[in-house]
Amino acid sequence: MHLGKYQLVLLLFCSCTGLHAQVFQNLNMEGLCTDSITGLCHWQKSWGGARTIRQDETATGNRAMLIETRNGGVGFAEQAALITGKREMKILTFSGRIRTEGATGKGAGLNIGIYDKEDRLLFNRDMGYGSFSWISGNTDWTTCTLSAICAPEAAKIKIGAILYGSGKAWFDDFEVALVPVRGRKPSRLAKTYLSGVIDTLSTHSLRKDSVNFRSLKKQALKIAGPARNPADCHLAVTYLLAELHDHHSFFMTPEEVKSWEGNGESNPADLVYPKSEIIADCGYIWVPYFHGGDPKRILAYADSLQHILRNLDKSNIKGWIVDLRDNTGGNMGPMIAGLGPLFTGEKLGCLFDVNGGSECWTYKDDAFGWDGRREITPTHPVTLPHARPIAVLISNQTGSSGEIVAISFVGNGKTRLFGQPTWGLTTGNGNFDLPDGARMMLASTIMADRNGKRFFGPVPPDMPVTPGNIDGKDPVMQAALNWVSRFEKD
């Protein structure tokens, strides 16, 4: 498939059964119903305030679904259909046109959700990793497509339109289609492309000894079928990564890889930056996720953390609170580089691969690196003259690279972890590039702390605390503040 200027394609994997496209209704947004909270027949609001989702034609010239959000909110409309027809593997395609006006934040996009007969969510996916494929800003009509492999296990599928952030997004002309993979013959290109993928997975995946790659390859070749270009094979690659069941590997299209790398052309002003304040004489730092590999953005993020450390250190604080509870991961480098002055010792942790190799991340000589190799050096490195106690807050949303940051504090001087066990994505994703510029982010290593202890699941807190709201206070924060106070007295 060709990725033109007005066509963005995201390839996904899901688990569902046969589905007839005609079971979805009002895909052109023409039907109005007074008994629907959105005013649009068959479209239900799953998230958003009053009038967030409605029919509109004033700015589009034809009737469309409008989702309008303010102050970084979320508007989400869905439609569900029971799965019917023959139970066999098929390719599901869900497409629609999107137009935006002043859309900030992650942006606008499509969504697929798959449920079993007990209405339990089996699979959910939107417009891809980070925010690279979402539609934001001011745009004309853009066609977006989600393609998914459907296996015969689920009972219901939902399609949805969503806007994360602020602004307006119009959705129209949705289409849903299914094509059986049975009988599809792979082209020579498909065989060559997928053979390379299978070789990589069978060599580097943490699951390489638990997967029948011969069987998976047969299915993947049917999915790719008469592929004429590498993009026609991407869905098959996504299927293979999902079938590893490591819950961490994922696929990036060539366009997403370019957006990730940025090459210094992206705007650092678009970053979600760390935040800080002084709470009960402690320096509090909220450390968010960081997505991307753009050098300017990496340095801007790392510098912002070191700037926070410098300013808080001047305030005669008695300890540090590092909040990783919302950190879902991304690129670990700028996080470690920015927090570097808080670490005691140079070696912070290691990644062990399935073939006996290892590599350790460090903060040494004012720079983040691997086995001492310098990779990120903050513009004005900070040296902290006082070794104050450090309370690190974690939750079940602390994931992937967020967990690497938490692990970096394990064994650190005067440091304790508070909260709940982390997400459990304690595998390192290696970058494995494909011939056309696409990339597999493959779970290929196990995380370990500076003392060599490996993590095969969530990182546990030193001091477990149940989250919530007690008399208007955050119990995890309170436990951390109390510990810092007691630590100072001791």
CATH number at residue 301: 3.90.226.10
Are both 236 and 342 inside the same structural domain?
A: no
Residue entry with tokens 């060559």: 192
Tell me 129's DSSP state.
S
Are both 302 and 417 inside the same structural domain?
A: yes
The neighbouring-strand residues paired with 114 are 123, 157
Q: What are phi and psi of 332, to 5 degrees?
A: -70, -30
Are both 164 and 208 inside the same structural domain?
A: no
Report which residue type is found at 382.
V
Tell me the mean pLDDT per 10 residues along the chain, length 490: 37 47 82 90 91 83 90 91 81 92 91 86 75 86 90 84 94 90 94 98 96 96 96 95 93 90 69 94 96 92 97 94 96 97 96 94 97 94 93 97 98 97 96 96 97 96 93 93 81
Domain range for 165: 7-181
Please give the C-alpha separations between residue 300 and each of 267, 294, 314, in angstroms, as whole numbers: 10, 10, 21
Are both 156 and 281 inside the same structural domain?
A: no
Q: Has residue 237 been placed in a domain?
A: yes
Q: Has residue 258 been placed in a domain?
A: no
Rounded Cα gap, residues 453 and 429, in angstroms: 19
Instruction: Give yes or no for a contact between 105 and 166, defined as CB atoms under 8 angstroms apart.
Output: yes
Are both 229 and 296 inside the same structural domain?
A: no
Q: What are phi and psi of 207, to 5 degrees?
A: -100, 15
Domain boundary among 181, 200, 221: 181
Are both 162 and 49 inside the same structural domain?
A: yes
Rounded Cα gap, residues 401 and 338, in angstroms: 14
Instruction: Give yes or no for a contact between 187 and 227, defined as CB atoms under 8 angstroms apart.
Output: yes
Q: Has residue 321 been placed in a domain?
A: yes
Are both 423 and 369 inside the same structural domain?
A: yes
pLDDT of residue 88: 83
Interaxial angle between packed helices 401-408 and 332-339, expressed in degrees from 0 to 180 and rounded to the nearest 10: 30
Domain boundary among 181, 210, 230: 181
Q: Has residue 102 been placed in a domain?
A: yes
Are both 209 and 305 inside the same structural domain?
A: no
Are both 192 and 341 inside the same structural domain?
A: no
Tokens representing 400?
A: 């992937």
Q: Has residue 307 been placed in a domain?
A: yes
Helix (H) or strand (E) holding 448: strand 439-449
pLDDT of residue 22: 45
pLDDT of residue 486: 87
pLDDT of residue 13: 46
Say how many domains are in the chain: 3
Instruction: Give yes or no for a contact between 250 and 439, defined as CB atoms under 8 angstroms apart.
Output: no
pLDDT of residue 488: 63
What is the value of pTM for the model shown? 0.87
Q: Has residue 94 been placed in a domain?
A: yes
pLDDT of residue 51: 85
Q: Has residue 299 been placed in a domain?
A: yes
3-state secondary structure of 468: coil
Are both 238 and 351 inside the same structural domain?
A: no
Q: Has residue 453 been placed in a domain?
A: yes
Are both 373 and 328 inside the same structural domain?
A: yes
Are both 361 and 320 inside the same structural domain?
A: yes
Domain boundary among 140, 164, 181: 181
pLDDT of residue 271: 81
